[in-house]
Amino acid sequence: MIHQEFDPGRWFDERLSHLESCEVPLGNLISGAESAVSCHLTRNRFWDELVPDAETAPAHVFVWGIGESNFRHLTKIGGLPYWPREEEWPLDVRGAPIPFLAQICFADSRELFSFDLPGDVLLIFAESHRDSNRWVIKWQNIGLSDNELVDWNAVRCPRGQVPLFAHLWKSRVVPDWHLLVKELKRNFGGGIPNPFAGEGKWLYQFWANQICRSPFCTRPFDGLEGRGDLEAIGCLAPISISSDNAVWPLINCPHAVSSSYYRGPTARGRVPQSVDLFSVGSGDLNGSVILYSPEKGDVQFAWL
């Protein structure tokens, strides 16, 4: 594998065995180790009972750590991008450099799709994570050495952003989750008990940053009507590690992160004053689906 694989069973055995006593999952949003293991345990507890014969599809979920990875091409938010030194940095209409927001490495996930992607790493450049209409999307292939990539002198990141890197959890989801939720509601007379609060779909899907064919949204996408050529290749979701009682909210951090935690040489002063390091979407936005057209080669983001 290109990414380091996240093994929730091993994490439970070695560091998070106390989660076995939790009667309900610790929230639906998967950001770091604790939330991923909690979701894994809930699925193990109820999957055979509630999803015994359901058709499943692979989903590769990102579980986050703070700081820079040792490998530049891996999935990350902020930090040093996998961008060639000799290639011009993306510019806006005024000719000003556009900050680097994030990159997603698809090298471990190509088997999920029946079509070819134009590169190994999808890079996103943007002034703000809140307006995908102004994002600039670029693809790169793995194979460049560190000497061929940009250094910190060339990098621009959104103000207040701290680098995050991802490990990869290879799991599965249920494409027809909405049908199972309806059945679950019927079985419980319309009221779904814990741990299936709300719609109950998170037993069958992941609210997480992930590479997948079956996103956590089935409704039509505003502004993309008539684009039958678009195929889902992943999802973006909020990232939150703000709980004061969190244990291993990130894969390399055993406790909740404070504003003074990350002040290494690559921080360059971009340390936020709260423990919410990064969030894709805000307010009533719950994330987005990443869509790709094998026919036209373009990438679109459908906000939820």
If you ran DSSP here, which 8-state letter would residue 16 be given?
-
The residue among 196 and 163 whose pLDDT is bigger is: 163
213 C-beta neighbours (distance < 10 Å), count: 17
Distance between CA atoms of residues 29 and 175, nearest Å: 18
Tell me the pLDDT of the chain averaged across its residues: 79
If you ran DSSP here, which 8-state letter would residue 207 be given?
B
Render pLDDT for 98-147 as a digit per residue (tens, 0 to 9).
Answer: 888 889 999 999 999 999 999 999 999 887 655 666 788 999 999 999 99
What's the pTM?
0.86
For the record, the structure tokens of 141 come out as 């292939």
218 C-beta neighbours (distance < 10 Å), count: 12
DSSP codes joined into one string, 27-41: -SB--SHHHHHHHHH
Structure confidence at residue 201 (pLDDT): 64
Judge: domain 8-303, CATH 2.30.320: yes
The residue among 277 and 119 whose pLDDT is bigger is: 119
For the record, the structure tokens of 160 come out as 């207040």
Domain positions in the chain are 8-303
Structure confidence at residue 179 (pLDDT): 74
DSSP codes joined into one string, 45-61: HHHHHHSSS---EEEEE
Task: Say if residues 37 and 63 touch (Cβ distance below 8 Å).
Answer: no
Task: Give the rounded percent of residues in the chain with a pLDDT score beyond 70.
Answer: 73
Render pLDDT for 78-95 as a digit per residue (tens, 0 to 9).
Answer: 889 999 999 999 988 888
Task: From 192, 159, 167, select the one nearest 50 (Cα to Cα).
Answer: 192
